Homo-oligomer: A and B are copies of this chain.
Amino acid sequence: MSNTIGNKFKITLFGESHSDSIGAVIEGIPAGIVIDFNKTKFEMDRRRPGKSDISTSRNEIDDVKILSGYFNDKTTGSPISITIKNENMKSKDYSKLIQNMRPSHADYPAKIKFNGYNDYRGGGAFSGRLTAPIVFAGAIAKQILKKKNIFIGSHISSIKNIKDDNFNELEIKTELLEKLRKEKIPTINNEIAIKMENEILEYKKNGDSVGGIVEATIINLPIGLGEPIFDSFESKLAHMLFSIPGLKGVEFGKGFEVSQMIGSDANDEYYYDEFKNIKTYSNNNGGILGGLTTSMPVIFKVAFKPTPSISIKQRTINLETEENVELKIKGRHDPCIVPRALVVVEAVAAIVTLDFLLESGIYYG
């Protein structure tokens, strides 16, 4: 296991779905920062399950307890460490799963890797629950980035085949990002949200699940963030994004689509605008060239698979009896993880961006 990430802004996660607690040690926050805990709670609530009929009915409170690093209402420069109690767990739900491997979950390779000693309950260390402290760390990062006028936001680009509009690649307003942040199903085109919700509920009815795509953006970045060759902006962001459970693809700018273009169309040509600001006529590269930010909006998309926990009968194996069996997963599960995972995507973007900013020395400037 490797539970630590980041260079200057460093996160160490711990915990399993059904252990006493989960939590994080968050290193590298500059001293003297006032944290707005209403905002961290707001972000935690966005990710929290049990809020509506499109997410799991598990009701996790996600009360974050600060153990250190905060004194006289300011950060001390020493790590902020947090715990979140695991409550409302139904460990018995998982007792039958010990030997019956849930398809498309980590159960089988994890059992082999850890010689059967891993905590299998609720997915153990592989549970999406571990993303809660990521969201908390991301909420702090967002507040620090905001002091530098950097904003992060996202919307659901698609649920199954239902597509929302794309971000305007040339200019994204903070107002739009603020609006999206408050929505249950954040979309640029509001009518699409209703269609998406209905689609999710439709498949939920059958005990099935659906996947989708999140489009996210980081705006007002300084030029030159990124540490190529090997720590390009894309590399470090993709690295952490691919630790979000269920995420199977990452593309920047036009991504896979740009592979079907020709150079004369794909290239983002430069011009000086009337105020002598440097701009590009297009942003097919998603605000990143040579692994460095260009000051255009960083835009990326990530693909989530349908939640693997479905209540429809599935074929699988029983490792004890070594027989083919059928499995019907009970418990309370998200029919679609995308509306909650989107909050994690934003948190990851905030964490990685702050890490680059602190590394660059610009933050201190």
Measuring CB to CB, which residues of chain A are less than 8 angstroms from any residue of chain B? 1-5, 7, 10, 12-16, 19-23, 25, 27-28, 31-32, 65-72, 74-79, 81, 83, 101, 103-106, 108-110, 112-119, 121, 123-126, 130, 158, 160-161, 203, 208-213, 223-224, 226-232, 234-236, 238-243, 245, 247-256, 258-264, 266-272, 276, 278, 280-281, 284-286, 289-294, 301, 303-310, 312, 314-317, 322-324, 358, 361-365
Instruction: With a 10 A CB-CB cut-off, give which of A281, A292, A305, A358 has the most chain B CB atoms.
Output: A305
Contacts of A269 in B (CB 8 A): 103, 314-316
Q: Is the CB of A115 within 8 A of B32?
A: yes
Nearest CB on B from A134, distance (A): 9
CA distance A359 to B337 in the complex (A): 32
Measured in the bound complex, the distance between the Cα atoms of B107 and A267 in whole Å is 13
- CB-CB under 8 A from A301, the residues of chain B are 256
Contact A262-B68, Cβ < 8 Å, known A25-B3, A106-B290? no
Q: Offer 14 A-B interface pairs, CB within 8 angstroms, sorted by A.
A: A1-B78, A1-B227, A13-B230, A20-B68, A77-B117, A78-B119, A78-B124, A103-B270, A109-B289, A234-B248, A263-B309, A263-B312, A269-B314, A285-B305
Q: Which of A16, A248, A263, A322 has the most CB of B within 10 A?
A: A263
Partner of A259 from the list B109, B254, B304 (CB cut-off 8 Å) is B304
The residue on B at minimum CB distance from A291 is B243
- Output the residue of A105, A124, A235, A261 with the most chain B CB within 10 A: A235
The reply to whether B316 and A245 contact each other, CB–CB distance below 8 Å, is: no
20 extra A-B contacts, CB within 8 A, seeds A231-B243, A263-B309: A1-B78, A3-B25, A4-B10, A14-B69, A20-B68, A22-B67, A32-B114, A74-B117, A104-B284, A104-B285, A105-B289, A130-B229, A208-B263, A211-B259, A238-B250, A266-B305, A271-B324, A276-B322, A361-B361, A364-B365
Query: Smallest Cβ distance from A136 to chain B, in angstroms?
Result: 14
- Let me know if B303 and A256 touch, CB within 8 A: yes
Least CB distance from A351 to B in Å reads 11
Pair A258/B124 contact, Cβ less than 8 Å: no
List, in ascending order, chain B residues with CB within 8 A of A289's CB.
104-106, 108-109
Q: Is the CB of B256 within 8 A of A2?
A: no
Contacts of A118 in B (CB 8 A): 31, 71, 76-78
CA distance A245 to B228 in the complex (A): 10
Report yes or no: B256 in contact with A306, Cβ–Cβ below 8 A. no
Complex: A109 Cα to B296 Cα, angstroms = 11
Contacts of A241 in B (CB 8 A): 238
Tell whether, in the assembled complex, residue A303 and residue B79 are in contact, meaning their CB atoms are under 8 Å apart: no
Q: Report whether B15 and A27 are in contact in the complex, using a CB–CB cutoff of 8 Å.
A: no
Residue of B nearest to A276 (CB): B322
Question: Which listed residue (B67, B158, B234, B286) contacts A23, Cβ 8 A?
Answer: B67
